[in-house]
């Protein structure tokens, strides 16, 4: 049984250290140490993490590294990479790293090397992807399949959705990609009104193949296709990605058109498997494999680099420092890249479904905070919405600012303005502006004494707000792979520190169960045993729908 993390020596030292240093100003730390930026920058190839604008000093980092020792982070990393069943509640190995194990070294689960199966699915994907892209695998009426519709939800949607959007510069020019996830009929309607049945390939992605949203959407799309082209067209327009061949067959998709994956791949960690089929169809298998290469580079860095220079470890530790000592409960991710605008949405599932837990691996309720609330959006857009609160609100939200040095669309000054904004936000968050500075500025601008007195506080910024700046050279498949794997491992580090199982998601079950009991009540005369509010709402909506 692991010692509760808040009882470790390092935790206690960090608590004391926090009390001594909580008021330290980053701008003073920068003034005192000319090498601060250099000291707190690490890189892996063309991905640079500058974490100097954090409320840390060398002791903070030392104690945080001590914490990794006390929680045996190194052993836990090895356990994951070695295929041990670290998902203890489901008794499963956790091997998304095997999906991009480009060295192809054997990894055993229950005495069986998983690599041959992984390689076989990659080979099957390649064959299929090439034949669709080169027009060999055609639709029922002989037309090339140029519209890819991914039907899935959660991990069977967010990864492919985020990655295809991020890599749109690599799309085949004649192809388009659509996503249906929500059970709302409008989600189906939006896509089906855009595409032509003759040129559309539906990729139904569901690990379990029992998810009500995905199956309902897939049935609707199937009917739409059959109405247009007849039943035999299904074999030419539907493929499935799943671990459940039986359910796929039951749905009416030939299992020859099924791409498998395995229970050791969690939904939110699955875009590297056949779940990424839509990504591969859009960017080509070669680029998909470059994405795997990038993730693999981050895996090796995570596994082999000492923690002082280990990017995911540093990010994870900083998150713990803020979450558990400063009490900063949120974490913001701001990509300064339009094509990465869905990264925060993807990370919400990755992080919050993994670490939003209150029971630890010793089957005890935790007595400390676990996963943060993750949110974000593309810079500069979000600067014009929630950044007001980030600068002047009463809450402090540590941020990741992600900045590509080179844009795919270097039009005029656009990219330089974008980058200038990203860097300015990091500096402004750190430096702030004192009331005195605000007053001096107002005076210089010619305001009267009264006006200065009236406005100086409104115009002040407390600063001392932490940011990580993550610079990448350019958003390409390799770099996207690195970036996503970096966040996966950051989440892993935090899960280890909080001593929770980051790989189950039991918290999504209760609502699903209750929806299943309410459905027949909404549809008919069944009577449920709910609270009076829920009963009344069911009756109200039934009445309106009549
Ligand atoms: O509702 C949560 C969840 O189980 C996710 O973890 C998963 O990514 C999603 O539903 C979809 O599940 P499936 O791939 O089995 O349809």
Residue-wise pLDDT for 250-275, tens only, equals 988 989 999 999 999 999 999 999 99
Residue 189 sits in the same domain as residue 324: no
Q: Is there a single domain that holds both residue 532 and residue 513?
A: yes
515 and 497 assigned to the same domain: no
Strand pairing partners for 433? Answer: 461
Look up the domain containing 233 and give its range: 114-285
Contact between 246 and 192 under an 8 Å Cβ cutoff? The reply is no
Taking each helix axis as running N to C, give the angle between helix 58-70 and helix 477-498, from 0 to 180 degrees, rounded to the nearest 10. Answer: 70
CA of 156 relative to ligand 1 center, distance in Å: 7
In a domain, residue 138? The reply is yes
**Catalytic position from the list 3, 7, 112, 512:** 512
Within a domain: residue 64? yes
pLDDT band with cut points at 50, 70 and 90 for residue 520: very high
Residue 357: what pLDDT? 98
289 tagged catalytic: no
- Which residue matches tokens 């695998």? 137
Residue 348 sits in the same domain as residue 469: yes
pLDDT attached to residue 528: 82
Whole-number Å distance, alpha carbon 384 to ligand 1 midpoint, is 33
Ligand 1: centre distance to CA 154 (Å): 5
Tens digits of residue pLDDT in 502-512: 999 999 999 99
Is pLDDT above 80 for 113?
yes
> Of 285, 313, 338, which one is at a domain's C-terminal end?
285
Best mutation site among 244, 267, 273, 513 for ligand 1 pocket (most ligand atoms within 8 Å of CB): 267
C-alpha radius of gyration, the chain, whole number? 25
- At 525 the pLDDT is 78
154 within ligand 1 shell (Cβ under 6 A): yes
Structural domain ending residue among the three candidates 224, 251, 285: 285
CATH of the domain at 50: 3.40.50.10490
Whether residues 321 and 396 share a domain: the answer is yes
Q: For 347, phi and psi rounded to 5 degrees?
A: -70, -25
Residue 377 located in a structural domain: yes
Tokens of 204: 């139904």
Within a domain: residue 133? Answer: yes
- Confidence check: pLDDT of 3 > 80: no
Domain boundary, last residue among 234, 250, 285: 285
Q: Are residues 402 and 515 in the same domain?
A: no
Question: Looking at 26-35, 312-321, 527-536, which range is the least confident one?
Answer: 527-536
Does any ligand 1 atom lie closer than 6 A to the CB of residue 211? yes
Residues 142 and 220 in one domain: yes
Using alpha carbons, list the distances in angstroms from residue 208 to 56, 141, 240, 346, 375. 44, 31, 11, 20, 28
φ, ψ of residue 543 to 5 degrees: the values are -65, -45
Q: Could you tell me which residues are beta bridge partners of residue 459? A: none
Q: What is the mean pLDDT of the chain?
A: 97
Ligand 1 atom nearest to CA at 214: 16
Res. 367: pLDDT tops 70: yes
Ligand 1 lined by 207 (C-beta under 6 Å) = yes
What is the 3 state secondary structure string of 427-476? HHHHHCECHHHHHHHHHHCCCCHHHHHHHCCCCCECCCCCEEEEEECCCC
**Whether residue 181 sits in one domain with residue 139:** yes
- At 407 the three-state DSSP class reads coil
Same domain, 223 and 270: yes
Number of domains in the chain: 3
**The tokens 């249906």 sit on which residue?**
180
Which phi and psi angles does 404 have, rounded to 5°? -75, 135
CA distances from 416 to 226, 401, 469, 540 (A): 50, 15, 16, 54
Give the Cα separation of 373 and 332 in Å (integer).
8
0.85 surpassed by pTM: yes
At 78, list the tokens: 């090895």
**What is the phi/psi pair of residue 50, to 5°?**
-100, 110
DSSP strand E in 213-369: where?
A: 238-242, 258-260, 330-335
Q: 334 forms bridges with which residues in the sheet?
A: 401
Determine the pLDDT at residue 483. Answer: 98
| pLDDT value at residue 252 | 86
Q: Is 455 inside a domain boundary?
A: no
Residue 348 lies in a domain: yes
394 shares a domain with 276: no
Residue 2 pLDDT > 80? no
Residue 64 and residue 201 in one domain: no
Residue 1 pLDDT level (bands cut at 50, 70, 90): low
Give pairs for 431-437: CB < 8 Å, separation 24+.
Answer: 431/27, 431/461, 431/463, 432/27, 432/460, 432/461, 432/462, 432/463, 432/464, 432/465, 433/459, 433/460, 433/461, 433/463, 434/460, 435/460
Cα–Cα dist 499/392, whole Å: 34
SS3 365: strand
Residue-wise pLDDT tens digits, 39-83: 999 999 999 999 999 999 999 999 999 999 999 999 999 999 999
Give CA–CA dist 402/448, Å, rounded.
41
301 among known catalytic residues: no
Residue in the block written with tokens 């998909």: 288
Note the Cα 179 to chain centre separation in Å. Answer: 17
Q: Please give the Cα distance from 162 to 165 (Å, whole number).
A: 5
Q: Hey, which of 94, 207, 269 would you mutate to test ligand 1's pocket, going by the most ligand atoms within 8 Å of its Cβ?
A: 207
Question: What mean pLDDT is predicted for residues 195-220?
Answer: 97
In sequence order, what DSSP letters do the residues of 30-99 get, joined into one string?
HHH-TTHHHHTEEEETTEEEE--SSS--HHHHHHHHHHHHHTTHHHHHHHHHTT---BTTTTB---HHHH
Residue 516 and residue 469 in one domain: no
| Gap from CA of 317 to ligand 1 centroid (Å) | 28
451 is catalytic: no
Give 526's pLDDT tier (boundaries 50, 70, 90).
Answer: confident
Asked, for residue 296, whether it belongs to a domain, the answer is no
Ligand 1, atom 5: closest residue by C-alpha: 154
Query: 454 in a domain, yes or no?
Result: no
């Amino acid at each position: 049984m692991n010692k509760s993390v808040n009882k470790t020596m390092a935790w206690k030292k960090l608590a004391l250290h926090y009390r001594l240093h909580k008021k330290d100003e980053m701008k003073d730390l920068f003034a005192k140490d000319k090498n601060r930026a250099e000291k707190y920058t690490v890189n892996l190839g063309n991905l640079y993490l500058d974490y100097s604008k954090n409320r840390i000093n060398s002791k903070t980092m030392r104690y945080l590294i001590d914490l990794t020792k006390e929680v045996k982070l190194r052993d836990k990393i090895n356990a994951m990479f070695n295929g041990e069943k670290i998902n203890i509640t489901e008794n499963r190995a956790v091997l998304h790293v095997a999906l991009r194990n480009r060295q192809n070294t054997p990894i055993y689960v229950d005495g069986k090397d998983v690599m041959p199966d992984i390689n076989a699915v990659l080979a099957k994907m390649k064959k299929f992807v090439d034949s669709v892209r080169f027009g060999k695998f055609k639709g029922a009426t002989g037309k090339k399949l140029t519209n890819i519709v991914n039907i899935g939800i959660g991990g069977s949607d967010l990864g492919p959705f985020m990655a295809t959007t991020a890599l749109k510069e690599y799309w085949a020019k004649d192809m388009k990609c659509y996503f249906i996830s929500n059970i709302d009929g409008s989600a189906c309607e939006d896509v089906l009104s855009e595409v032509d049945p003759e040129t559309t390939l539906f990729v139904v992605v569901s690990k379990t193949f029992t998810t009500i949203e995905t199956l309902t959407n897939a049935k609707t799309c199937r009917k739409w296709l059959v109405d247009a082209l007849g039943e035999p067209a299904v074999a030419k327009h539907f493929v499935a990605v799943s671990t459940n061949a039986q359910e796929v067959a039951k749905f009416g998709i030939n299992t020859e058109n099924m791409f498998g994956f395995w229970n050791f791949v969690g939904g939110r960690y699955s875009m590297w498997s056949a779940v990424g089929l839509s990504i591969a169809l859009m960017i080509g298998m070669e680029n998909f494999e470059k994405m795997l290469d990038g993730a693999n580079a981050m895996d090796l860095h995570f596994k082999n680099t000492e923690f002082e220079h280990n990017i995911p470890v540093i990010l994870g530790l900083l998150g713990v420092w803020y979450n558990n000592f400063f009490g900063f409960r949120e974490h913001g991710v701001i990509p300064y890249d339009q094509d990465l605008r869905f990264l925060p949405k993807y990370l919400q599932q990755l992080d919050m479904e993994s670490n939003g837990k209150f029971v630890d691996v010793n089957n005890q309720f935790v007595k400390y905070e676990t996963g943060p609330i993750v949110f974000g959006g593309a810079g500069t857009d979000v600067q014009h919405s929630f950044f007001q609160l980030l600068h002047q609100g009463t809450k402090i939200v540590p941020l990741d600012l992600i900045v590509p040095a080179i844009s795919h669309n270097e039009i005029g000054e656009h990219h330089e303005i974008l980058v200038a904004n990203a860097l300015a936000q990091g500096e402004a968050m750190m430096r702030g502006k004192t009331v005195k500075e605000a007053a001096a500025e107002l005076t210089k601008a010619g305001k009267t004494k009264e006006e200065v007195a009236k406005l100086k506080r409104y115009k002040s910024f407390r600063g001392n707000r932490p940011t990580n700046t993550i610079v990448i050279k350019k958003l390409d498949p390799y770099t996207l792979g690195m970036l996503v794997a970096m966040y996966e491992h950051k989440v892993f580090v935090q899960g280890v520190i909080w001593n929770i199982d980051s790989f189950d998601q039991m918290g999504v079950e209760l609502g699903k169960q209750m929806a299943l009991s309410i459905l027949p009540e909404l549809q008919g005369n069944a009577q449920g045993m709910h609270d009076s509010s829920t009963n009344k709402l069911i009756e109200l909506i039934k009445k309106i729908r009549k």
